[in-house]
Chains A and B, each alone.
Chain A
């Protein structure tokens, strides 16, 4: 079943909303009608000399509607008419007028639109539909020896112009289908003809893809929204890709290698130990990266620690702590949500809280209301507010602060080391690893690691 629910709830124009509600109602009726137990009882129906299998009469439909929905005959007729007009059910007599006749006229459920192929590209898809329609009209044309009805003649000519290049195929298909139809039982022939006729009546314009009404509604709703979207110029977007690639180039090991060496190439894991979360002196590249975006700073545990230190000096550390607590709720265990939200309220949001965070009154009100029924996303708005507060205010000041500048100055640039391929050859004298490097390593591993000596050839 399609999302007509959404279409209904969110439509702009009232006419569209009404139609969406209608589609939803009709689809529900059709499903009920086709229910194996409580639905319509299908039987063979007589049409002059032909016996139509698996059909129902107009009377049957009326009776069923009246009984199922406890409505008056008038209402049932109205609903029935709608269902036929929108193509869910088609008549096997007087096939050019799509109405529900409360008599012995046989009707059947339309199945054509549920069998539309989904595996074709959209451009091929419309072509296929056009071909289909052309074949249908060509068949009629051949049968009636050129005596098509006005609008059908118009359509036929339009199609001929539009898909002229495949017209031989169309005619061939039409002749084939007519020949095959002659082999079929009369009843099947009648059914198929009526089915096709009704299908193309409902979907009259030759150029659009026939669709269930629900799909059109949904498409309309989505496209109305999509049209209102603000779009950024492609020049601006492409420039920003360029900038991003340039900025991150030194950080992309596949593009530019990394210092001291890529562990995958040299079997030396120093790179990882130098960049671990607990390192005392980070690398320069790493500290520089904190200045790219606020998210980069917060994603690095070391960067986050530094930032917290800075915030403590500014007496606004509660912001970061609040943000972390919100994150923990957003991504943590479902069972602990209520408990955690309570804690956050006590610590950060309650009037007079020890670490009260400064959120604007509107967001605060909404949040306090929301936490009465805590769920995973209940603190999203407050979290975002504090995030932007830090990003716009504290973060830029941190980057200008002595704390950051000292970090950058202290940060080390590892010496490049390369893998030895010819161990018996002495490499060019290089400066030995800096004392900072070895002492840091011994801090971590308990013993200094030797850097590989040898010629450079990877």
Chain B
């Protein structure tokens, strides 16, 4: 058994060396750096609009790039495109499978996508010739549920699945172009970088991975969470990853330092994080929890500075508009609320 033991020893030793290299660059603690920064003070956001129309739990929402239209998915089997400002429903799309877990709005505004326990990602064309919204493609190849999807453009979409892989699809041909495998647990969520060259995924193996879309390779892996990672997003400057986990904490991992820099936790929080979104400047992080609330964190001081209380059930999804004007929360109580 000489070789295997040797190799295993080598793998362990490398792990220790990497740990040491990370420690070596960790030359300062957060409180030291931010001691001079002004405090944010209490942040009070109010509900400005309530979007009513779904008849069951809302599982996902996503803003369009115009910061007014958004799409939401509910287990009543509907995908609704809202003009959130007027609260009008622009489209109400009936789904073949009501077990939907995610939805996405294309940057162009021409399409929306959704998927869930049917293991498929269904793409809907919103700008069809006769005005009806129809299924354009059904992307089927995953062997597990679809947990998240995000468009790169009108021709490409990235999906994450309960089969532990993520995939890049060509929408026109309906085929998988690249499979990103490496996670050891269900992939729960993903986020695409602003330059569309990379994306990050969070999984039930408690790690987050940064992937190069073109190469199909995992560039970095971040561990430290003690339970499933449910939510993930990029910090607005693109250099850090924010994760939210069932262990009740959110973490910020820096891509350049290759390690966790900040943890957002409080001993009074005993339930998991379901969703998160940073404000435009990144100074605030809004995180939805299993206990029906949304906490607002000061991202630099790692302190809670506010709460969005208003839902009667778990906050399942949260999103901040691209122009930073408002935040939207979706809940199992079947309502979406717009806050600022």
Q: Chain A interface (Cβ within 8 Å of chain B)?
A: 2-3, 6, 16, 19, 85-86, 98, 118-119, 121-123, 201-202, 204-205, 208, 211, 213, 216-217, 219-220, 222-224, 226-227, 229, 231-242, 244-245, 247-249, 251-255, 258, 262-265, 269, 271, 275, 295, 330-335, 377, 380
Give the residues in chain B near A254, CB-CB below 8 Å. 43, 45, 279-280, 284, 320, 324-327, 340
> Are the C-beta atoms of B8 and A208 separated by less than 8 Å?
yes
> Cβ of B140 < 8 Å from any Cβ of A?
no
> Are the C-beta atoms of B185 and A118 separated by less than 8 Å?
yes
Residue of B nearest to A218 (CB): B182
> Are the C-beta atoms of B281 and A249 separated by less than 8 Å?
yes
Q: How far is the CA of A41 from the CA of B52 in the complex (A)?
A: 62
Residue of A nearest to B197 (CB): A380
Give the residues in chain A near B284, CB-CB below 8 Å. 252, 254-255
> Are the C-beta atoms of A245 and B300 separated by less than 8 Å?
yes
Smallest CB–CB gap between B210 and chain A, Å? 12
Extra A-B contacts (10), CB below 8 Å, given A233-B28, A254-B324: A204-B1, A231-B22, A234-B254, A235-B27, A248-B282, A254-B45, A254-B326, A264-B338, A331-B154, A334-B155
> Are the C-beta atoms of B237 and A240 separated by less than 8 Å?
yes
Q: Would A252 and B280 be within 8 Å (CB), given that A223-B18, A331-B152 are in contact?
A: yes
> Are the C-beta atoms of A235 and B325 separated by less than 8 Å?
no
Cβ contact of A232, chosen from B25, B85, B184, B221, cutoff 8 A: B25
Q: Would A118 and B325 be within 8 Å (CB), given that A245-B300, A331-B155 are in contact?
A: no
Give the residues in chain B near A377, CB-CB below 8 Å. 214
Give the residues in chain B near A244, CB-CB below 8 Å. 236-237, 281-282
Within 8 A of A (CB), among B13-55: 14-15, 17-18, 21-22, 24-28, 30, 33-34, 37, 40, 43, 45, 48-49
Q: How far is the CA of A262 from the CA of B339 in the complex (A)?
A: 11
Per DSSP, chain A at the interface is helix
> Are the C-beta atoms of B185 and A119 separated by less than 8 Å?
yes
Give the residues in chain B near A242, CB-CB below 8 Å. 33-34, 37, 300
Interface with A: B73-81, B113-121, B126-134, B256-264, which one? B256-264
> Are the C-beta atoms of B218 and A222 separated by less than 8 Å?
yes
Q: How far is the CA of A88 from the CA of B45 in the complex (A)?
A: 59
A-B contact pairs, 9 of them (CB 8 A): A118-B184, A118-B185, A217-B7, A226-B18, A227-B21, A235-B33, A248-B236, A248-B280, A253-B323
> Are the C-beta atoms of A253 and B325 separated by less than 8 Å?
yes
> Are the C-beta atoms of A234 and B299 separated by less than 8 Å?
no
Give the residues in chain B near A240, CB-CB below 8 Å. 237, 239
> Cβ of B240 < 8 Å from any Cβ of A?
yes
> Are the C-beta atoms of A262 and B257 separated by less than 8 Å?
no
- List the 5 shortest-distance A-B pairs measured between CB atoms, nearest first: A248-B281, A331-B153, A252-B281, A223-B14, A232-B256
Residue of A nearest to B1 (CB): A204
Q: How far is the CA of A108 from the CA of B45 in the complex (A)?
A: 64
> Cβ of B105 < 8 Å from any Cβ of A?
no
Q: How far is the CA of A234 from the CA of B252 in the complex (A)?
A: 12
Q: How far is the CA of A121 from the CA of B49 in the complex (A)?
A: 40
Q: How far is the CA of A263 from the CA of B259 in the complex (A)?
A: 39
Smallest CB–CB gap between B62 and chain A, Å? 18
Smallest CB–CB gap between A387 and chain B, Å? 10
Q: How far is the CA of A238 from the CA of B234 in the complex (A)?
A: 15
Give the residues in chain A near B283, CB-CB below 8 Å. 245, 248-249, 252, 255
Give the residues in chain A near B96, CB-CB below 8 Å. none
Q: Would A231 and B25 be within 8 Å (CB), given that A220-B11, A244-B281 are in contact?
A: yes
Give the residues in chain B near A86, CB-CB below 8 Å. 4
Q: How far is the CA of A213 from the CA of B299 in the complex (A)?
A: 42
Q: How far is the CA of A226 from the CA of B16 in the complex (A)?
A: 12
Q: How far is the CA of A334 from the CA of B221 in the complex (A)?
A: 31
> Are the C-beta atoms of A234 and B196 separated by less than 8 Å?
no
Give the residues in chain B near A98, CB-CB below 8 Å. 1
Give the residues in chain A near B40, CB-CB below 8 Å. 255
Give the residues in chain A near B48, CB-CB below 8 Å. 264-265
> Are the C-beta atoms of B181 and A3 separated by less than 8 Å?
yes
Residue of A nearest to B34 (CB): A242
Give the residues in chain A near B156, CB-CB below 8 Å. 331
Q: How far is the CA of A98 from the CA of B221 in the complex (A)?
A: 36
Q: Would A229 and B279 be within 8 Å (CB), given that A119-B185, A223-B18, A264-B325 are in contact?
A: no
Give the residues in chain B near A118, CB-CB below 8 Å. 184-185, 204-205
Give the residues in chain B near A219, CB-CB below 8 Å. 11
What per-residue 1/0 map shows which CB atoms of B256-289 lie under 8 Å from chain A? 1111010000000000000000011111100000
Cβ contact of B11, chosen from A122, A223, A239, A275, cutoff 8 A: A223
Q: How far is the CA of A191 from the CA of B273 in the complex (A)?
A: 45
Give the residues in chain A near B320, CB-CB below 8 Å. 254
> Are the C-beta atoms of B281 and A255 separated by less than 8 Å?
yes
Q: How far is the CA of A219 from the CA of B221 in the complex (A)?
A: 12
Residue of B nearest to A248 (CB): B281
> Are the C-beta atoms of A231 and B340 separated by less than 8 Å?
no
> Are the C-beta atoms of B33 and A253 separated by less than 8 Å?
no
> Are the C-beta atoms of B257 and A237 separated by less than 8 Å?
yes
Smallest CB–CB gap between B227 and chain A, Å? 7
Give the residues in chain A near B4, CB-CB below 8 Å. 86, 202, 213, 216
> Are the C-beta atoms of B14 and A220 separated by less than 8 Å?
yes
Residue of B nearest to A229 (CB): B258
> Are the C-beta atoms of A205 and B8 separated by less than 8 Å?
yes
Q: How far is the CA of A271 from the CA of B326 in the complex (A)?
A: 13
Give the residues in chain A near B124, CB-CB below 8 Å. none
Q: Would A227 and B17 be within 8 Å (CB), given that A234-B259, A252-B283, A254-B45 are in contact?
A: yes
Residue of A nearest to B177 (CB): A376
> Are the C-beta atoms of B214 and A224 separated by less than 8 Å?
no
Q: How far is the CA of A224 from the CA of B15 in the complex (A)?
A: 9
Residue of A nearest to B151 (CB): A331
Q: How far is the CA of A19 from the CA of B33 in the complex (A)?
A: 47
Cβ contact of B282, chosen from A122, A222, A241, cutoff 8 A: A241
> Cβ of B312 < 8 Å from any Cβ of A?
no
> Cβ of B206 < 8 Å from any Cβ of A?
yes
Q: How far is the CA of A222 from the CA of B181 in the complex (A)?
A: 13
> Are the C-beta atoms of A122 and B240 separated by less than 8 Å?
no
Give the residues in chain B near A330, CB-CB below 8 Å. 196
Q: How far is the CA of A254 from the CA of B320 in the complex (A)?
A: 10
Give the residues in chain B near A217, CB-CB below 8 Å. 7
Residue of A nearest to B235 (CB): A241
Residue of B nearest to A85 (CB): B1
Cβ contact of A333, chosen from B154, B185, B196, B235, cutoff 8 A: B154
Cβ contact of A251, chosen from B21, B152, B324, B338, cutoff 8 A: B324
